[in-house]
A and B are shown apart, each in its own frame.
Chain A
Amino acid sequence: MLLPRFDFHEPATLAEACEMMAHYGAKAKVIAGGTDLMVNMKKKLLSPERLVSIARIPELKKLDSSPGMLKLGPCFTIANIAASEEIGKTWGAICAGARSLGSPLVRSRATVGGNLGTARPAGDMPPSLMAYGARVVLTKKSGQRVVSLDNFFRGPGLTEIAADEVLSEILVDAPPPYSGCSYMNISLRSACDCNIVNVASFVTLEGPGGPIKTARIVLGCVGPTHRRAVTAEKTLIGQKPSAALFDTAAGAIAACVPGAETADCIPIDDFRGSADYKMEMAKLLIRRTLGAACSEAMKQ
């Protein structure tokens, strides 16, 4: 399969990369690992005139986990995230997401910034990052802005990133005490397969046995983007964790409550599964991830 022709640029710094994106705008695409971009280019779905590679910019590959916050460079590879004890100690669900992505061969090249930038509804990195409340820094020649991941995805393949911006950092706060987070996915094969459903749940308890004070549930593959199951989340607040409670939360995703534009979970029938099946699997994963997250929270 042949790639279309393009010019290849390799800026040495973030500033240079932003300069190039300001100049070339929509005629250029940023490339890091290329494990998604190259596939789309080979299939002739994308044919940018220019590729701007940010893969060799040192500041974009760093990992900084000073107490209180994780700062991840967008070019940090999925393989390195999966193997990172530093990330796993405090943000274990992010490592779980990384372990599920692609195959070991893909993970060596794929990057976390890339998985966010490609905005696939079935992506493995968004659920845990959103559940931990992550934010991304979008940098351009004239400055930068910080966007919550909750507001970052606009549709399949579409994000907040403007044509002259580069996703330059991912920020994740350390969870408060008595917090837990879990990511789970269902797919046919263990590698190189799009997820049928994926879910991440994050909870913070008032105390070791105590009621839930914060909950974030993120659903993937059941809408045009990863989405917060806000109706389900509301059922958890102020309640003590229990299997019955998780059942209630899971059940809440199907209904469209007054005031909401849609239900939490809006799957479609496709070759991966029927909408009914995906709905049931989303409920299953909500129950399981809530259980795992609460167990983690109670152990602290």
Chain B
Amino acid sequence: MQHLHNNFMRKTTAILANFRKIILLGIAIISLTTIIFLVSKQNSTEAAEIQTITDQNADGRINLIDARILSPPETTSCPVCVDVNGDKTINQTDVDLVQRYADQTAMVTATELPKPKYKSRYDVNNDKVVNLSDVAIIKNYLGQTVGDPAFGLDNPSELTFGFMANDILIKFKPEATDLQKQSVFAKYDLNPKRTFQTINTTNLTAKDSNVEQMQKQILKESVVQSAQKSYIFELLTDDPHWAEQWGHQRIRIPETWFAERTTGRTPNKVRVAIIDTGADYNHYDLGANLSQTLRRNVQIDPVWPFEQQDVTDEAGHGTFMAGIIGATTNNNSGVAGLNWNVEIIPIKAAFINVYGEYEMPLPYLYVAMEWVFLNHSNIDVLNMSYGIPGVTSDPNIDYYLDALDYFGVILIAAAGNLGRNDSSYPANNPRVVSVASSGLDDNFCPNSSGRQSADILAPGDQIISTVPPDLDLDINHDGVEYAGCGTSQAAAYVSGVAALCKAVAPAYPLRSDLKCNKFRHNGYGRLDAWATIWYVNCKRFDNNSSGTVDVIDIAQVAFRSNSPQLYNVLYDVYPVGGDGKIDISDAYVQVSRSGIRCQ
């Protein structure tokens, strides 16, 4: 019995021992499997990022959607997939952008307002909805940066806005013959789709959906000046009120932005001072372009420097002007300013009186002008959307205007809203550009002054711009409003274009037509941003990229004059956009820029 018991115990012990071994073995197997799984998962993640991206969803575009299909950011490491503003850093800005869009969508649902356009860039998990789950994914990446290269792209941030699949743009050197071009097309199996004569560029279909490698090869061809992917711009600006900003489109702002490359990448901001009612620093669509260091409330005594910085806009007029010149563009909110990148310096000089009206007493104006004068080295353009009719001079204001003009500050003022033939003061000062307002018909607004004296017309009717939200009385309360016809708005338009002009003008421009304070008239004399800026863009006339408009540049145009067989669009410099021929007018335009140094 005892033997049996002992035998049983031995067997039981052995079984238990084996059972432990089995358990341990099982744990080991599971652990190993998990490790193998994790390792393989990691490898698959890396594989996704190191493989060349293609048009995964066959939508004709290569963008973040494709990247997120290859490498879902919620399960794999893919910083570029969540870098929604393409600045290579995942930070709170990315979170805010998606959060704000998600909030807007929620608000729209609640109020049944028109739904904002779906934005795939913000749809981090590719589930066709931008909501808080996308925000949550981005938060997991905070602090990370986008490494180069990835997805077979030297700059994976090209995916943020995307580019067309199977598509490439080749710009040839001026001397490239048609035969040489055809040879390049054949070598890379490219099919021309369209040619852009004015920029000597051909758009072609490629066999590969991602043309990065081909792009590098083509760049080595001796007749090619540049080759690039067909990047995808968003619809000019995604500011929801863009379609209502008729003035921008009338003065050819879209062409100016993109043709003259003034879309917010100017290294040095042009600075525009606005003497007005102040500006709303808390406005969601304006704050980014309001100066953080320069502003002035002229009512406050200099012994209170902090209070001097209070330019709170109780009236809204100054905020409106600031919005025309520099509301934040392409931020999916509000309106688009004329400038993507500008520093607006508000000077509050108008205050409410006992009747509830806003007025700008001359002493306040003296303080404002003196402040501008003292800060002239930090000011490029001065907008004066105010005036007094029947006055032609004030010795002190004239003194400041003379001095500011001497220092190169562009002076812009409203002609007045009394339907007079003359302009108000200071618009009628000879050193100031007097601006009358025009409507949709490009003619004077009925109430515009300066009908026989204004230097230029600019859009001033039915202009939509920023207002402090507590003054926004319309149904949306979205911080933007329309204003009726006024030369104030028109002056702001000219100031905005003057700022754009400064952004592309050559360094130290002294020649009259390059100073940005004369505005080329068009049609009824209405402002035309593209025409104005086209002629001051130094690089356009420096065809050999020597940094100077030299004798080669002027001779290349002049020698082609009156010789159709030598026509090349690059040298068709007059009128704006070219007229298909090169003659003495082109030669004159070119020679008038001789010797200018480009930045």
Q: Do A and B bind each other?
A: no
